[in-house]
Amino acid sequence: MSTLAADAEQSLASVVVVDYGLGNLRSVTRGLERAGADVEITDDPDAFADADGVVLPGVGAFREGVENADPIREDLLAVAERGQPLFGICLGMQMLLTASEEGTTDGESAVEGLDLIPGTNVRFDDGQKVPHMGWNELSVERDHPLVEGVDGEYAYFVHSYYAVPDDEASTVANTDYEREFPSIVANEAGNVFGTQFHPEKSGETGLQILRNFVELCADR
Amino acid sequence: MALTKRIIPCIDVDLDDDGNPAVYTGVHFEDLQYTGDPVEMAKAYNESGADEFVFLDITASAEGRETMLDVVKQVADEVFIPLTVGGGIRTTEDIKETLRAGADKVSITTGALERPELINEGARAFGNQCIVISVDAKRRFDEGGEHYVEVDGESCWFECTKKGGREGTGIDVIEWAKEAESRGAGELFVNSIDKDGTKDGYDLPLTEAVCEAVDTPVIASSGCGGPEDMYDVFTEAGADAGLAASIFHFDEHSIAETKEYLDDHDVPVRY
């Protein structure tokens, strides 16, 4: 239950950043605040329902992410079901899909993602430098409120796996790292979406995406 | 387009006589000169198009560490690009508190040489992507190495050093780079004691040898005198990122100018 000191910015929408014990939430919180959101960091499902939008952040491994988020799994699915904006970032985006090679090749049983955007996260080919780390270009493939004004701009990536949605129409933007891969995905209804890159680390382009997200939350 | 080459300004932070954080710039890791306020410099670099920042705590004191974490917090709240913080990190607790302050990655030098398991522990707890292993390499023209390259017509190996090059370890940089990668390092940060502060170009044979030995991204450091040197280290040595301090701090070359030069010469940059 904390918000970092918001400066003079007026709050346009209330956003919950889901704290399920993974990653550093400070930058994403500060970025959302800069974009005009009133941010609450919490794992309390009651707060999800009251918020204008929910952010699922995350750094680390798919299995650990899914297992850590297991107690709030049904609550996250309810957010999507109610039509609230649900924004997955990096591992948080990968968790919106159904499965990951990362969760099946470590010798343990497979774990299932949220399956809100059906598909699988797969690993970059052997022989490529992994992780894909650094700034790469966004090529917007279709309309979505999240990508207003960011086509052709650069974002900051750090990842070894990438999303392959079952339905090609789930891809909102692609990025080229020796092969083209989906860097922004969304569900058919448009309220569940995610970025493989870190908007909170992607300078002005990232802030633009966060502003687009906050506006989308405010418009509901 | 594809993944761009990163231009990274590096800021060495020490305490001034009043105990306030201050940026210093040196030559051969010595002769430090006051350069400015770290938070203000970070903001200015962000606006000029830096792709990332590296902050090094050169105080090597508990008091300096506290101040440094405070600087990291202030910068992380203002600037939305990746931040790497190094200096005096020896335990997973040090890594944790640095990340918690807002760093995205930690850079570890001596702490990993003295206890290599720190790399495994850090990678397991926080992910490979945030563990940067930094080496301070020194050219050696004797028989003590394992991997030799030709430098100025002579057979040369590179030794990992400690204490800014004043203390040798006998460890071959190439062997260490491979070991660090296998233990879970997500990035390698390659400094050259021979080139530090000289502005006559990166140590290309060193950088190239490391890039060939590992698949992990490599940040070249030490010796950058201008955009041409960045071009060489990207195209000849294969570095993923070029780090520089003094040329940017003293406004000899701006980041924008450096990127424009690289773009003109077909090196992919964000700009």
DSSP-assigned states of every residue in A102-156:
GGTTTSS-------SS-EEEEEPPTTS-SSEEEEEE-EE-S--GGGTT-TT-EEE
Q: Is residue A7 part of a domain?
A: no
A147's tokens:
């990508």
Whether the predicted pLDDT of B161 surpasses 80:
yes
Q: Is residue B270 part of a domain?
A: no
B88's tokens:
């005096």
Report the C-alpha gap between B132 and B95 in whole angstroms.
11
Report the C-alpha gap between A168 and A185 in whole angstroms.
10
CATH number of the domain to which A182 belongs: 3.40.50.880
The answer to whether the CB atoms of A177 and B270 lie below 8 A apart is no
Residue A24 CB: number of other CB atoms within 10 A? 19
Q: Give the closest-approach CA distance of B263 to chain A in angstroms.
A: 15
Q: Is residue A30 part of a domain?
A: yes
Interface probe for A, chosen from B43, B218, B270, B271 (most Cβ of A below 10 Å), is B270
DSSP string of chain B, one letter each residue: --PPPEEEEEEEEEE-TTS-EEEEEEETTEEEEEEE-HHHHHHHHHHTT-S-EEEEE---SHHHHHHHHHHHHHHHHH--S-EEEESS--SHHHHHHHHHTT-SEEEESHHHHH-THHHHHHHHHH-GGGEEEEEEEEEE-SS--SS-EEETTEEEEEEEEEGGGTEEEEEEHHHHHHHHHHHT-SEEEEEETTTTTT-S---HHHHHHHHHH-SS-EEE-S---SHHHHHHHHHTS--SEEEESHHHHTTSS-HHHHHHHHHHTT-----
Q: Tell me if ipTM is over 0.85.
A: yes
Distance from first CA to last CA of chain A, Å, rounded?
Answer: 24
As beta bridge partners, residue B157 has B140
Active-site annotation holds for A132: no
The pLDDT, as a whole number, for residue B258 is 93
Tell me which chain B residues have a C-beta less than 8 angstroms from the C-beta of A132: 3
Which one is predicted more confidently, B206 or A219? B206
Which one is predicted more confidently, A37 or B26? A37
The pLDDT, as a whole number, for residue B35 is 67
Q: Give the closest-approach CA distance of B271 to chain A in angstroms.
A: 9
Q: Is residue B1 part of a domain?
A: no
Whether the predicted pLDDT of B56 surpasses 80:
yes
The pLDDT, as a whole number, for residue B78 is 85
CATH number of the domain to which B190 belongs: 3.20.20.70
Contact yes or no for B9/B45 (Cβ under 8 A): yes
Closest partner residue to A27 (CB to CB) among B76, B186, B241 is B76
Contact yes or no for B247/B45 (Cβ under 8 A): no
Q: Is residue A6 part of a domain?
A: no
- Ordered per-residue pLDDT tens for chain A, 220 residues: 444 444 445 789 999 999 987 767 888 999 999 999 999 999 999 999 999 999 999 877 888 889 999 999 999 999 999 999 999 999 999 999 999 988 665 556 678 999 999 999 999 988 788 889 999 999 999 999 999 999 999 999 999 899 999 999 999 999 999 999 999 999 999 999 999 999 999 999 999 999 999 999 999 7
Q: Is residue A81 part of a domain?
A: yes
The pLDDT, as a whole number, for residue A6 is 46
Q: Searching chain A, which residue's CA lies closest to the CA of residue B100?
A: A24
The answer to whether the CB atoms of B4 and A176 lie below 8 A apart is no
Report the C-alpha gap between A80 and A189 in whole angstroms.
9
Q: Reduce the DSSP state of residue A99 to 3 states and report it.
A: strand
Contact yes or no for A103/A150 (Cβ under 8 A): no
Q: Is residue A3 part of a domain?
A: no
Whether the predicted pLDDT of B19 surpasses 90:
no
Q: Is A209 left (phi over 0), alpha (psi -120 to 50) or beta?
A: alpha
The answer to whether the CB atoms of A201 and B129 lie below 8 A apart is no
CB neighbours of B36 closer than 8 A, spacing ≥ 6? B22, B23, B249
Report the C-alpha gap between B20 and B140 in whole angstroms.
38
Report the C-alpha gap between B243 and B220 in whole angstroms.
6
Point out the residues of B that are catalytic. 12, 136
Contact yes or no for B186/B123 (Cβ under 8 A): yes
Q: Is residue A77 part of a domain?
A: yes
The pLDDT, as a whole number, for residue A8 is 44
Sign of the C-alpha dihedral, residues B19, B24, B28, B30? negative
pLDDT band at B263, cuts 50/70/90?
A: very high
Whether the predicted pLDDT of B271 surpasses 90:
no
Q: Is residue A150 part of a domain?
A: yes
CB neighbours of B171 closer than 8 A, spacing ≥ 6? B113, B159, B160
Least confidently predicted of A26-35, B42-51, B89-98, B246-255: B246-255
The answer to whether the CB atoms of A136 and B6 lie below 8 A apart is no
Domain span at residue B190 reads 6-264
Closest partner residue to B1 (CB to CB) among A26, A132, A176 is A176
What percent of chain B clears pLDDT 70, i.e. is strictly above it?
93
Tell me, what DSSP letter sits at residue A56? Answer: E
Q: Which of A62, A124, A70 is nearest to A99 (CA)?
A: A62
Helix (H) or strand (E) holding A193: strand A192-195
CB neighbours of B260 closer than 8 A, spacing ≥ 6? B271
Q: Is residue B269 part of a domain?
A: no
Least confidently predicted of A4-18, B83-97, B132-146: A4-18
| Whole-structure pTM value | 0.90
Whether the predicted pLDDT of B28 surpasses 70:
no
CB neighbours of A107 closer than 8 A, spacing ≥ 6? none
Whether the predicted pLDDT of B34 surpasses 90:
no
The answer to whether the CB atoms of B186 and A34 lie below 8 A apart is no
Interface probe for B, chosen from A22, A24, A28, A181 (most Cβ of B below 10 Å), is A24
Contact yes or no for B165/B195 (Cβ under 8 A): no
Report the C-alpha gap between A102 and A63 in whole angstroms.
7
Active-site annotation holds for A217: no
Q: Is residue B226 part of a domain?
A: yes
Q: Which of B212, B207, B227, B220 is nearest to B139 (CA)?
A: B207
Tally of domains within chain B? 1
Q: Is residue A147 part of a domain?
A: yes
Cis peptide leading into A131, omega within 30 of 0?
yes
Which one is predicted more confidently, B157 or A67? B157
Which one is predicted more confidently, B88 or B16? B88
Tell me, what DSSP letter sits at residue A169? Answer: G
Q: What is the mean pLDDT of residues B110-132?
A: 93
B36's tokens:
């400015």
Interchain CB contacts (distance < 8 Å): A and B: 85
The pLDDT, as a whole number, for residue A7 is 47
A110: contact with B, CB 8 A cutoff: no
Q: What is the mean pLDDT of residues B73-89?
A: 91
Q: Which of B219, B231, B209 is nearest to B151 (CA)?
A: B209
As beta bridge partners, residue B160 has B137
Q: Which of B84, B39, B65 is nearest to B221 (CA)?
A: B84
Helix (H) or strand (E) holding A157: strand A154-159
The pLDDT, as a whole number, for residue B27 is 53
Tally of domains within chain A? 1
